[in-house]
């Protein structure tokens, strides 16, 4: 039996990984046409550094790329269902993102992950190169970009990266932008931001693929639980979900707080699904409180 144990562990790992594809649940047996829930994400600028003249333009470019991803549902805070979302992200006294408060906000809206971006130091650059046979001067419009992804369930930062992007411009544009930065053309900025958005989305989507789909219980009334995910992310009546306990919270450095996911306590079945929420009846013997996490149960054959 001891010799078989490593093979059993390997088989279990392969079975679990086989149920996940790009971080999304796939069905085991059952109806292969049933779609898994969409991951709900929220993309926001970093307060202060992300709020400059170019922030909105870059944000729109970034959201356009994420919005085209078929496995994601991009939250729009201008929609009536999400009016309660704050206009600015919460910060700690030192000026960094308050990860614990951010997770609480995201839970209420059924958001699995939050992307935080900034676009800074949009400027021009003249680059001179010389070889034995050739000398050449080129001109660029450049900017620095940052992007982070926060996981709602654990309050942890899944990725945090910085990139520099450049696009070529003419000598005339370089001279004008050097004297009058406010005249940087819309076309040049759009090309720069589109390029940066594609680079960022590739890295961010890799991080998001590691985020498992989950929903959160936001209120309990008698034997009814309200869940912060609904039709818009393909949650429907009949879906069964595992219920996880609240887990533990531990204090990190500099005021950061993190969550250790809890254990499975039981399961519930969705009975009613509206646009951005759903409801389930709590079975006897199962204690459910707001803040608990739900994860879909794969369909049995």
Q: What is the pLDDT of residues 244-255, one digit of tens each?
A: 999 898 888 878
Answer yes or no: is pLDDT of 173 > 80: yes
Q: Same domain, yes or no, for 220 and 176?
A: no
Contacts of 15 (CB under 8 A, 6+ apart): none
- Where among 208, 233, 249 does a domain terminate? 208
193-228 residues labelled b (16+ CB within 10 A) or e (exposed): bbbbbebbbeebbebbeebbbbbbbbeeeeeebbbb
Answer yes or no: is pLDDT of 20 > 60: no
Residues 112 and 41: beta-carbon distance below 8 Å: yes
Domain count of the chain?
2
Tell me, yes or no, whether 185 lies in a domain.
yes
- Where among 165, 188, 208 does a domain terminate? 208
Answer yes or no: is pLDDT of 32 > 50: no
Q: pLDDT confidence of 5, banded at 50, 70, 90? A: very low
CA distance 187 to 195: 12
Over range 213-224, report the average pLDDT: 94
Contacts of 263 (CB under 8 A, 6+ apart): 244, 245
Answer yes or no: is pLDDT of 104 > 80: yes
CATH code, domain with 134: 3.40.50
Tell me, yes or no, whether 225 lies in a domain.
yes
Over range 39-55, report the average pLDDT: 81
Q: pLDDT confidence of 291, banded at 50, 70, 90? A: very high
Answer yes or no: is pLDDT of 14 > 70: no
Q: pLDDT confidence of 8, banded at 50, 70, 90? A: very low
Beta bridge pairs of residue 143: 165
Contacts of 104 (CB under 8 A, 6+ apart): none
Over range 150-163, report the average pLDDT: 92
What pLDDT, on a 0 to 100 scale, did the predictor assign at position 4? 40
What pLDDT, on a 0 to 100 scale, did the predictor assign at position 181? 87
Q: Same domain, yes or no, for 126 and 240?
A: no
Q: pLDDT confidence of 35, banded at 50, 70, 90? A: low
What pLDDT, on a 0 to 100 scale, did the predictor assign at position 122? 87
Residues 101 and 256: beta-carbon distance below 8 Å: no
- Where among 208, 226, 247 does a domain terminate? 208
Answer yes or no: is pLDDT of 9 > 50: no
Contacts of 157 (CB under 8 A, 6+ apart): 99, 148, 149, 150, 151
Residues 189 and 183: beta-carbon distance below 8 Å: no
Over range 133-149, report the average pLDDT: 91
Tell me, yes or no, whether 21 lies in a domain.
no
Answer yes or no: is pLDDT of 287 > 70: yes
What pLDDT, on a 0 to 100 scale, did the predictor assign at position 51? 59
CA distance 268 to 283: 7
CA distance 94 to 86: 20
Over range 72-94, report the average pLDDT: 87
Over range 245-272, report the average pLDDT: 90
**What rounded mean pLDDT belongs to the chain?**
84
Tell me, yes or no, whether 240 lies in a domain.
yes
Q: Same domain, yes or no, for 242 and 169?
A: no
Q: pLDDT confidence of 56, banded at 50, 70, 90? A: confident
Q: Same domain, yes or no, for 125 and 67?
A: yes
Q: Same domain, yes or no, for 81 and 195?
A: yes
Tell me, yes or no, whether 20 lies in a domain.
no
Cα torsion angle, 60, 61, 62, 63, sign: positive
Q: Same domain, yes or no, for 71 and 153?
A: yes
Residue range of the domain that includes 244: 214-301
Residues 288 and 217: beta-carbon distance below 8 Å: yes
Q: Same domain, yes or no, for 67 and 174?
A: yes
Q: Same domain, yes or no, for 91 and 199?
A: yes
Tell me, yes or no, whether 7 lies in a domain.
no
- Extract the runs of DSSP E, i.e. beta strands, from 22-112: 24-25, 39-45, 72-74
Rounded (10°) CA dihedral 195, 199, 205, 206:
170
Contacts of 57 (CB under 8 A, 6+ apart): 189, 190, 193
Answer yes or no: is pLDDT of 279 > 90: yes
CATH code, domain with 223: 2.40.10.410
Q: Same domain, yes or no, for 156 and 64?
A: yes
Run of H or E residues at 130: strand 113-130
CA distance 189 to 58: 9
What pLDDT, on a 0 to 100 scale, did the predictor assign at position 129? 86
Q: Same domain, yes or no, for 116 and 255?
A: no
Answer yes or no: is pLDDT of 218 > 90: yes
Tell me, yes or no, whether 156 lies in a domain.
yes
Cα torsion angle, 212, 110, 157, 262, sign: negative
Q: Same domain, yes or no, for 184 and 203?
A: yes
Tell me, yes or no, whether 2 lies in a domain.
no
Nearest of 190, 151, 149, 199 to residue 167 by alpha carbon: 190
Q: Same domain, yes or no, for 262 and 234?
A: yes
What pLDDT, on a 0 to 100 scale, did the predictor assign at position 2? 40
Classified as helix, coil or strand, 100 is helix
């Amino acid at each position: 039996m001891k010799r078989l144990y490593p093979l059993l562990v390997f088989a279990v790992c392969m079975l679990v990984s086989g149920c996940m594809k790009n971080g999304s649940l796939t069905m085991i047996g059952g109806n292969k046409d049933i779609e898994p829930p969409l991951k709900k994400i929220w993309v926001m600028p970093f307060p202060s550094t992300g709020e400059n003249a170019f922030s909105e333009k870059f944000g729109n470019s970034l959201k356009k790329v994420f919005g085209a991803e078929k496995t994601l549902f991009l939250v729009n805070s201008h929609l009536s269902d999400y009016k309660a979302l704050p206009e600015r992200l919460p910060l700690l006294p030192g000026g960094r993102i308050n990860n614990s408060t951010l997770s609480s906000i995201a839970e209420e809206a059924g958001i699995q992950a939050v992307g935080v971006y900034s676009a800074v130091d949009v400027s021009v650059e003249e680059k001179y190169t010389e070889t034995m046979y050739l000398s050449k001067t080129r001109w660029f419009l450049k900017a620095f970009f940052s992007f982070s992804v926060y996981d709602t369930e654990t309050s942890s930062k899944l990725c945090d990266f910085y990139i520099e992007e450049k696009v070529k411009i003419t000598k005339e544009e370089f001279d004008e932008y050097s004297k009058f930065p406010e005249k940087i053309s819309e076309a040049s900025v759009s090309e720069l931001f589109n390029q940066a958005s594609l680079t960022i989305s590739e890295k961010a989507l890799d991080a998001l693929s590691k985020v498992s789909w989950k929903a959160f219980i936001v209120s309990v009334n008698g034997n009814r639980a309200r869940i912060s995910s609904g039709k818009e992310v393909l949650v429907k009546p009949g879906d069964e979900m595992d219920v996880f306990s609240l887990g533990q919270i531990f204090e990190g450095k500099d005021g950061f707080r993190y969550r250790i996911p809890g254990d499975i306590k039981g399961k519930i079945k969705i009975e009613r699904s509206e646009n951005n929420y759903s409801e389930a009846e709590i079975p006897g013997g199962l204690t459910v409180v707001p803040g608990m996490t739900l994860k879909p149960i794969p369909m049995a054959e």
